[in-house]
Chains A and B, each alone.
Chain A
């Protein structure tokens, strides 16, 4: 599957880009510095955000097995890293293909829906605490999209 940007370039084969497409391309390029800034902020803040989420999670749910905590840690890292890349490249398809399909299966297999309801709420809070409001709005829709997809498995509303 190609990204929307690649798709646009494929469609423009042997013709000029339309004004609309040029505007899209311009927006993509102009938005790059800001997206790169947010990407860096996420990379630097990852350890803190994920670490604190896990601490808070274990406080709220003290009976979680080490295996489940480890799975949560891995999933939070995957969630953040894939969302960051999808944000940077403005390619949401990447989430579905590389992340949601995989995590869905593990959430179902290990029956993690209840844990994730809590973990997702805590993680959203951490994002809010760690990022500036101007940064948060870049990454939040993507994180929320993945969380909504995972929580939809159990019919629970997304955090």
Chain B
């Protein structure tokens, strides 16, 4: 890989042995397993972990049993650590593959890689809605989330604190700003997708209490978009 010149940058070459860089995260290429050793690895050589549904369920119920309300904080904190690691790995993989720093990657390519990475890791289909970007807000939608699917049915509010923490940290690392994230709808509660509002941390201080109070995604978004008094 390192000794070939990529065709990604508009060089006019047609050398049949020079790869055209495209989907780094194509599942059959990205995920590598060794039956002998029972190990899962990425094509970059990093270890991967397969989480059984039973374990995901047990994490929700076990945490609730052990820590009660604090379970949310624990999940969010775990999500944050996970997000930090995932961003580091993502940045390294893509900059090695395209042979330039992440910041110099074209936006389209970057976003598409994020979507593919999400899908290949089995975390669902992620989409970013930039409608409110001028107001500093991004709405993230995730469909077919395994984390929502494993949520025990007795929870009556969105419980995707793991994903919310992951998204908050991931985008904080990307932008260098202190961002937070709140989940407003969940597939576990019958919504079409899991919606997350992502913005500056100080604008989401009250957001979890709004979700607790049963406000809809639109109502919460409206509150977040209101200019600070």
Contacts A97-B26, A97-B27 given: A77-B112 contact, CB under 8 Å?
no
CB proximity of A37 to chain B, nearest CB, Å: 16
| A50 in contact with B23 (CB, 8 Å) | no
User: Is residue B115 contacting chain A, with contact meaning CB distance below 8 A?
Assistant: yes
Q: Which of A74, A94, A110 contacts B22 (CB 8 A)?
A: A74
Asked if B27 and A102 make an inter-chain contact with CB atoms under 8 angstroms apart, the answer reads no
Would A102 and B14 count as touching, CB distance under 8 A?
A: no
A105 vs B115: C-alpha distance when bound (angstroms): 10
B7 within 8 A of A: yes
Total A-B pairs, Cβ < 8 A: 47
Contact between B112 and A1, CB atoms less than 8 A apart: no
Contact of A97 among B7, B10, B14, B28 (CB under 8 A): B28
Say yes or no: A102-B108 contact (C-beta < 8 A), given A70-B10, A77-B7. no
**Pair A101/B23 contact, Cβ less than 8 Å:** yes
Instruction: Tell me which residues across on chain A come within 8 A of B111, comparing CB atoms.
Output: 109
B20 at the interface (CB under 8 A from A): yes
Chain B residues positioned under 8 Å from A98 (CB to CB): 22-23, 26, 28-29
Interface status of B116 (Cβ within 8 A of chain A): yes
> B28: which A residues are within 8 A, CB to CB?
1, 94, 97-98
Q: A47, B108: Cβ atoms under 8 Å?
A: no
B26 touches A102 (CB 8 A): yes
Interface residue SS majority, chain A:
helix
Indicate whether A46 reaches chain B with its CB closer than 8 angstroms.
yes
Given contacts A70-B10, A98-B26, contact A106 B16 (CB under 8 A): no
Say how far A146's CB is from chain B's closest CB, in angstroms. Answer: 13
Interface residues of A in 33-60 (CB under 8 A from B): 43, 46-47, 50-51
Q: Chain A's nearest CB lies how many Å from the CB of B129? A: 14
Tell whether A140 is near chain B: CB-to-CB under 8 Å.
no
In the complex, A136 Cα to B27 Cα: how many Å? Answer: 30
The CA of A101 and the CA of B115, in the complex, are separated in Å by 11
Q: Does B58 contact A (CB under 8 A)?
A: no
Residue of B7, B26, B27, B29 near A74 (CB, 8 A) is B7
Q: Given A1-B28, A97-B28, verify A106-B20 contact (CB < 8 Å).
A: no
Interface residues of A (CB under 8 A from B): 1, 43, 46-47, 50-51, 66, 70, 74, 77-78, 81, 94, 97-99, 101-102, 105-106, 109-110
A-B pairs with lowest CB-CB distance, top 5: A47-B14, A102-B23, A70-B10, A98-B26, A77-B20
Can you offer 5 A-B residue contacts whose CB atoms are under 8 A? A47-B16, A77-B20, A97-B26, A105-B112, A109-B108
Given contacts A51-B14, A74-B20, 18 further A-B contacts (CB under 8 A): A43-B16, A46-B14, A47-B14, A47-B16, A70-B10, A77-B7, A78-B22, A98-B26, A99-B22, A99-B23, A102-B22, A102-B23, A102-B116, A105-B112, A106-B108, A109-B108, A109-B111, A109-B112
